[in-house]
């Protein structure tokens, strides 16, 4: 099979503490949590974005336009934050990278996909972390700032990777107020 290369934004999502939640509250609660996440993600996806595949408690998303990718991620974090914490809170972390993976059917594979998967490992609940390549592809966005977290050693990669935390300053202020 000949694989084609395509450029775009690769996003991994991950439900924080899913293993612990499943262990403590059972499979039915875990399944309901996954369905809540999936429904919100599918509602939020623009025409240029799609769910590549489900990965247990996470999703691999693909966006042709990196700006759409970041807008969707930040919008989803607002949606997750607004969700009720009962019966279980939906705390999701996200990693976004821009690259040129190989297409294999509907799937995408390659170094850039692996890197995006590692980026999400360093994110906290409610956060969207971006690679430097993603920030450059996205460019300035009104209402969005990028805080440099510095070169980070990422498992499996020879060179440190510059990471940034994307955030909406107005939303941070809202969260800090009663």
Q: What is the 3-class SS of 18-63, one letter each residue?
A: HHHHHHHHCHHHHHHHHHHHHHHHHHHCCCCEEEEEEECCEEEEEE
**In the complex, minimum distance from the CB of residue 14 to other proteins, in angstroms, rounded to a whole number:** 11
**In the complex, minimum distance from the CB of residue 112 to other proteins, in angstroms, rounded to a whole number:** 20
51 is an interface residue for other proteins by CB under 8 A: no
Angle, helices 66-82 vs 27-44, to 10°: value is 130
User: Half-sphere exposure of 38 toward its Cβ, with a 13 Å CA cutoff?
Assistant: 15
For other proteins, which residue of 86, 105, 140, 170 counts as binding (CB under 8 A)? 86
Of 53-61, 96-104, 136-144, 152-160, the segment contacting other proteins by CB under 8 A is 152-160
| Stretch 98-137 residues interacting with other proteins (CB under 8 A) | 121-125, 127
| Residues in contact with other proteins by the rule CB under 8 A | 16-17, 20-21, 24, 85-89, 91, 121-125, 127, 147-155, 160, 163, 165, 175-178
């Amino acid at each position: 099979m000949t694989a084609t290369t395509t450029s775009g934004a690769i996003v991994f999502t991950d439900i924080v503490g899913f293993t612990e939640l499943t262990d403590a509250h059972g499979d039915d609660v875990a399944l309901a949590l996954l369905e809540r996440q999936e429904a919100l993600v599918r509602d939020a996806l623009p025409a240029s974005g799609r769910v590549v595949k489900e990965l247990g408690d996470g999703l691999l998303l693909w966006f042709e336009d990196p700006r759409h990718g970041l807008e969707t991620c930040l919008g989803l974090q607002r949606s997750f934050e607004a969700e009720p914490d009962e019966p279980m809170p939906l705390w999701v972390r996200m990693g976004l990278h821009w690259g040129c993976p190989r297409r294999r059917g509907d799937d995408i594979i390659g170094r850039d996909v692996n890197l995006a998967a590692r980026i999400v490992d360093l994110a906290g609940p409610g956060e969207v972390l971006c690679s430097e390549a993603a920030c450059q592809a996205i460019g300035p966005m009104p209402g969005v700032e990028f805080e440099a977290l510095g070169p980070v050693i990422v498992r499996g990669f020879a060179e440190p990777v510059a990471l940034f935390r994307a955030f909406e300053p107005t939303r941070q202020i809202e969260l800090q107020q009663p």
